[in-house]
Chains A and B, each alone.
Chain A
């Protein structure tokens, strides 16, 4: 695990996307507030798709051009001291007979390791970015939405149901592949468009048979050609990096583009020729799919697979960072335990059991990982008050914890931990307890929920012998059954539970029952320990 958080090193990542028409790179940094700040967006044209889709392999010339670009990109990566790079290649490399040779060359020349990804992964990444960008802006929860990404090699279609991926698939509507069917460049623009339309109609027919696209309520286009159309005739929505184009405007725009050759389009719009060439096939593809859905307007999103890659990387960075902080909190709490000569093994065991119960009860308490961590810390420290005196040690625990410093925990969090420890035995929280009542209501709820669990966990190690290890849980409507195996006698624990599970019953409305494990069913809920 990197220790970058402590040193304040910038966290800079890069994604490289070797597509069918260009090699692109995005360099971004993850800011301390969690935002992704894009530093560089780069793109250089290289016609990998032409080679692969026409000749099944990448030419030396194309490979050389690609490595030259990546060498330049490497210079940029070095200038930012980029720590993590994820480079992916899609269909143009995936389907090339000499893909391995290509990947080797890139690794040798630019020291960039490229991963070839499948269409489903491409689709997932794009949709991931799309959902992230759209957030609550456009309501995707209401029904079904079709996400269409027409690339050079194929079209990726994803059906979203209530904002979740329902089905996705890749179809032969890639703009470069479509371009191929225009055998020569001699075709007049009109004739070429007819040929393309015919070809596209066939594929769209096949798509209709496999995907219920006729019923979708929203049509969301992603991809460079769609973005180009949006820039020309779209209306920018105020949020979420979205534009919208009405069907009629779109049709008009497509008609206009169709009447020009690629060379003319390149000149009129000042775009690279390679982009101009795929524009008409891609637009006709979007148009045919849009018609098939009967949606009145097309949404065009600015996001791309690259944003999805970036999200993936930064989310893993965030997770890594959270783990670092969590780790330092736990270490700090253990330090306090040692200072007060706690029973390390008992405390650890109770803490572990507590978070297992926490996980089982997740749908009941709906608390986050943060509270899970507070419970764990409370488990570790619940008995530090023994250092002062055995009687009323829960109260001593409370003030020892409340007056300690746990690195990484804020004051408010520490009070929750101290109170959860205070209520691990004897009296449950009461309105007469001033230290409890000063907390805001939601914090009091948290204290109750956590201490209820802690009491049960503590009861399970009543003998401080960590005998109850092999446990399984079954959550019934009114009852939490804890199956224990390998123990001759559960007398002690049952009695402890009887005394301590009261709060659990009050908070969760569930009785806790301890059973021998012989008849235990398989626990379907995966649980996860912190350690």
Chain B
């Protein structure tokens, strides 16, 4: 048999198109009849916010490649121009399906008492109400940009809605052709996007931009409105700051936030049936080509549907409540310190509560025997109890070291704020590492105990964010294993610049050794694989894009190693290609919670090894970020992880499998329906039931985002 060339372009899927397939799976949830309508609205909203980021980062990047005349194709053999063309085609189709789904969901919501009305469906009475609403509540805050304001064309901020109008003066000199004028009216971001209208029952909403469009003659008295459209733009947000040193990094980042507004327009979205004159004019002024333009039926920014989903009430239109349970490893253990002296704890969020993590930091802050706390903060929620605890610890005189990663995309403004707050409290704050994004999630506590100091660590696949911990599915490990905690201490020494790498006991760190370790682990599996006892690799991650890892997995498949991959998002590997990847199976789960955990299993000839990580198999994780891969060593936890991994591969409700052509299809259902996330939740409830305290938490939600 002729050896296949494993670098051949046809063996790799394009990263951008694979990502779009992921977004399509999110869309499928928005279209799914078995998902409650407000949750569908949420998924439809996420499709849009995802696309915004995609255009601002990825499409912008491709455009920059073209501008820089980089013509080298990617590993799937596509040039940047070919990718842009394919993206336009795919996104157009996606947005049209999304618009259709929004219509369908609106209808269902209407039947449920939450009416989202289009302008043409307003009653006369509602029309009258909206007119007066516009006159009193909207008109006074509008800042229309007339012809003179549009020369030169102003820098319109991205991701906002605008009305563009073509105006003809009602009075003009006799015999003279009236000169049509253009105007742009920004939709005020400060006003509610949904306006509650009078109705006989339920809630009835109108969209602000439609209310504005219907009443524009009040703004432009003396003109006839020849044509109008709603538009929205996305700009290149790629941040490339010089990172000479940390002090400047923060300033650079604040500038970057400003800079973003000035960047090139990478997408123009218009309401369908736009007047060709307005469209042409906008395209010219915004310097976009036909491939950047998307015409949409209905809402231009479905991301605001998130506001609907967040409204209080309408519980019957949402998922049933799944309150996070008390962690099974915590059951019967009151004191975290003494528990961790004896065993490791595995926390599976959000099925299990994130509270123990907050509790650990909080306890550390208040424990007089705790000497030092070190933590990475990547994306942290605003009123985070963790930030509060760290500040409190510093105020109590403990040594608190915090790495606040400023480069967390789109969160810079928020992060600068927390960094300052911590610094004021006396924490030693590091603003990231020049050239690398610190993506690892690590917490270290140094505690003085009888005759010794002991260190406690928490390592996780998810951020220290109590809000997202309720929405993202992540795993965390708490341990006092001295090899592990020693490594975490070294990791912080590396971050703080106190020390170079002196060697690791059990952790593996990117960018220095992580890819190589993965390649070694895959290779070891190949070596250990025999026809009688084939090797087995199971990995669960968000994205698989690193070509060398893909290649190694192909080699593993060729050597008879069975490879089971649960990849939520991008997957550049093609499974099921004869003689290349026949032994590789790829499934993806998009469900209620965002799958975010990274788990790696290697059979290793029976000496099974389990790892968890903050890193995906992507070039950026392995080369450009500080990431941690850590082993799970305790037998009981290994067993639990194995079962957990297994559940992902028997899901036949939300799982979709990747086909050799890059398309995904639902996993065929044989027998009983299994939905992994539901299974995990039921397991957590079952485990918590045995809790002697009998605690199933019912906590009132203090805020709509909670």
Contact = CB atoms under 8 A, between A and B. Distances in A.
Interface in B392-448: 399, 428, 446, 448
Contact of B450 (A8, A38, A79): A8
A132 interface: no
Contacts of A38: 486
10 contacts: A8-B449, A10-B448, A10-B451, A31-B451, A38-B486, A40-B490, A42-B498, A42-B502, A78-B399, A81-B448
Given A38-B486, A41-B490, A270-B512, A10 B499 contact: no
B451 A44 contact: no
B371 A44 contact: no
B496 interface: yes
B704 interface: no
Interface string A260-285: 00000000001010000000000000
Given A12-B453, A80-B371, A41 B446 contact: no
B371 A29 contact: no
A11 B499 CA distance: 23
Contacts of A12: 453
Contacts of A73: 498
A270 B511 CA distance: 11
Nearest to B511: A270
B455 interface: yes
A118 interface: no
Contact of A40 (B489, B500, B512): B489
Contacts of B486: 38-40
B256 to A, nearest CB: 29
Interface residues of A, number: 28
A80 B512 contact: no
Interface in A1-52: 8-12, 25, 29, 31-32, 37-45
Contacts of A40: 486, 489-490, 493, 499
A29 B500 contact: no
A364 interface: no
Given A29-B453, A39-B455, 8 more contacts: A12-B453, A32-B451, A32-B452, A43-B500, A45-B500, A75-B498, A76-B493, A79-B399
A39 B493 CA distance: 12
A75 B399 contact: yes
Contacts of A41: 490, 499, 502-503
A11 B450 CA distance: 10
B500 to A, nearest CB: 5
Contact of A79 (B446, B490, B497, B500): B446
A266 to B, nearest CB: 13
Contact of B453 (A39, A42, A72): A39
A14 to B, nearest CB: 12
Interface of B: 371-372, 399, 428, 446, 448-453, 455, 482, 486, 489-490, 493, 496-500, 502-503, 512
Contacts of B451: 8-11, 31-32
A333 B344 CA distance: 45
Contacts of A43: 499-500, 502
Contacts of A76: 493, 498
A29 B499 CA distance: 19
A75 B428 CA distance: 10
A43 B494 CA distance: 10
A73 to B, nearest CB: 7
A433 B450 CA distance: 44
A10 B496 CA distance: 25
A458 B683 CA distance: 76
A40 B496 CA distance: 14
Given A40-B490, A79-B399, A80-B371, A10 B452 contact: yes
Nearest to A45: B500
A10 B453 contact: yes
Contacts of B450: 8
Given A79-B371, A81-B448, A39 B489 contact: yes
A31 to B, nearest CB: 6
Contacts of B489: 39-40
A12 B449 CA distance: 12
Contact of A37 (B372, B482, B496, B503): B482
Nearest to A11: B451
Contacts of B448: 9-10, 81
Contacts of B498: 42, 44, 72-73, 75-76
Contacts of B512: 270
Most chain A CB within 10 A, of B372, B451, B482, B486, is at: B451
Contacts of B399: 75, 78-79
Interface in A292-306: none
Nearest to A42: B499
Nearest to B400: A79
